[in-house]
């Protein structure tokens, strides 16, 4: 799946997340030397199905499920130690060897229990739709220059007074936010003391390791979390995550220069979903939304929350192609549309009677658009057993060809099921 001129590939979600990035990373990882998670925290889960087993990875890169590649948590992530080691232990119990294969950036910031308390307190008043896992407050501390980094764990004695100061600050904020919960310094220190000996064996200057692999001719996959429309700069602000999910964040979050990146693979569902609040222009009417949710199993892998469902949104994916510099697309969950006779595809928006193919930057503007739909014929037969492009029903091929034409980016892979072997290489024509 790697071409000669692609030593470093970024895999990004081109919609609102949950597009199936984990599965594509898992497929690419078979030939990779290193797989790097470059942003986000334990608020996003990548689901990979191997045979009868389903693995949901919240912190670890999806490449961990292959025996070959080393897996890296880059400086752009925020690390929840409990979740991280819980995942490692679960994989070890499941027969997936992780010993000696995982590196963690010394520059990555820590998510601590007081971040989770603040997250829940903020959410009660703001209603953004966060998962309450402390991601936003951890990034706030990072950019406020009061964060604690993984490398700080090398000296817990020096760390304690800094931690005490930030806990006192957090408790004051919790009081202002009307929360009765408070953080404890002793409990925080106990948590860090219990995990520090184990994590320090994995800590490294990970950007240097990634750079050396690329320079030696090795193959690297940079794996993002969430999707472009949740990017803190380019998404549907303020209904976004707290990091740069777009491809530009891959270089920063991995610790390498942008010229190291050779390709950007954008993952899109054959329809559209979103978790949480915020605009979703192509959100389907209740009966169709429920049908898409049921057929696609559209429930959050981390929270279990039902995803909002709608039809493919061309303006959103065209916008995502632009801000990510997408070189190729991978289309997932095409099989979910098997039983739908006529499939709407949004080709443009109408705003105040004017037609546009661009995405408004403000939430009010995007909430007010009216999608302009084109209806494509369904194929009315199951495609989960199809292994060759030539065997796809002609309406399914037409649907993909039209998607490719509308977005202006070539499709490289098509997924017709949840398993790692249900990927079809795609060649138009």
Q: Is 398 exposed, middle or buried (0-12, 13-18, 19+ CB in 10 A)?
A: middle
What is the DSSP-derived secondary structure letter of residue 213? H
Nearest to 39, CA basis, from 103, 117, 85, 108 = 108
SS3 category, 110: strand
Q: Which two tokens stand for residue 257?
A: 């220069």
Instruction: Choose, from 18, 26, 119, 313, the residue flagged as catalytic.
Output: 18
Chain centre to alpha carbon of residue 318: 18
Tell me: cis bond preceding 429? Omega within 30 of 0 counts.
no
CA dihedral 386, 389, 395, 398 (to 10 degrees): 150
Nearest to 51, CA basis, from 20, 26, 17 = 26
Q: Which two tokens stand for residue 155?
A: 């000296």
How many residues appear in the chain? 429
Within 10 angstroms of residue 293's Cβ, the number of other Cβ atoms is 18
Active site residue 18: yes
Calpha distance 371→270 (Å, rounded): 17
- φ/ψ of 81, rounded to 5, equals -60, -40
Q: Give helix 185-200 / helix 156-176 axis angle, nearest 10°.
A: 140
Active site residue 391: no
Instruction: Choose, from 46, 66, 122, 234, the residue flagged as catalytic.
Output: 46
Catalytic residue positions, numbered: 18, 46
């Amino acid at each position: 799946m790697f071409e000669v001129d692609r030593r470093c590939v970024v895999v990004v979600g081109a919609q609102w997340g949950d597009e199936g990035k984990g599965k594509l990373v898992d497929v690419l990882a078979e030939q990779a030397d290193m797989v790097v998670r470059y942003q986000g925290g334990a608020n996003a889960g990548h689901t990979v199905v191997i045979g009868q087993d389903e693995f949901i990875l919240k912190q670890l890169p999806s490449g961990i499920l292959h025996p070959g590649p080393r897996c890296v948590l880059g400086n752009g992530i925020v690390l929840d130690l409990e979740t991280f080691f819980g995942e490692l232990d679960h994989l070890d119990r499941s027969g997936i060897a992780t010993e000696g294969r995982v590196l963690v950036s010394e520059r990555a910031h820590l998510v601590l229990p007081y971040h989770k308390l603040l997250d829940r307190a903020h959410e009660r008043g703001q209603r953004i739709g966060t998962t309450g896992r402390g991601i936003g407050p951890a990034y706030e501390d990072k950019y406020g220059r009061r964060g604690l980094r993984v490398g700080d764990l090398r000296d817990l004695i020096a760390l304690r007074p800094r931690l005490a100061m930030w806990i006192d600050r957090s408790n004051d904020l919790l009081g202002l936010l009307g929360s009765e919960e408070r953080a404890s310094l002793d409990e925080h220190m106990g948590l860090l003391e219990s995990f520090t000996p184990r994590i320090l064996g994995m800590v490294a200057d990970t950007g240097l390791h990634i750079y050396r692999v690329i320079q030696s001719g090795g193959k690297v996959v940079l794996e993002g979390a969430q999707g472009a429309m949740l990017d803190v700069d380019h998404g549907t602000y303020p209904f976004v995550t707290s990091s740069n999910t777009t491809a530009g964040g891959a270089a920063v979050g991995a610790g390498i220069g942008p010229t190291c990146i050779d390709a950007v693979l954008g993952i899109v569902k054959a329809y559209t979903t979103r978790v949480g609040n915020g605009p979703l222009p192509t959100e389907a009417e209740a009966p169709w939304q429920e049908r898409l949710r049921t057929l696609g199993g559209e429930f959050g892998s981390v929270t279990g929350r039902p995803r909002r469902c709608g039809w493919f949104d061309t303006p959103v994916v065209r916008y995502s192609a632009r801000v990510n510099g997408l070189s190729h697309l991978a289309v997932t969950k095409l099989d979910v549309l098997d039983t739908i006779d006529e499939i709407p595809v949004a080709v443009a928006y109408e705003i105040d009677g004017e037609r546009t193919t661009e995405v408004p930057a403000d939430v009010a503007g995007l909430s007010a658009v009216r999608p302009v739909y084109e209806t494509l014929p369904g194929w009315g037969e199951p495609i989960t057993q199809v292994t060759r492009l030539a065997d796809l029903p002609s309406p399914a091929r037409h649907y993909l060809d039209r998607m490719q034409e509308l977005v202006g980016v070539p499709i490289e892979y098509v997924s017709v099921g949840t398993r790692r072997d249900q990927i079809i290489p795609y060649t138009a024509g």
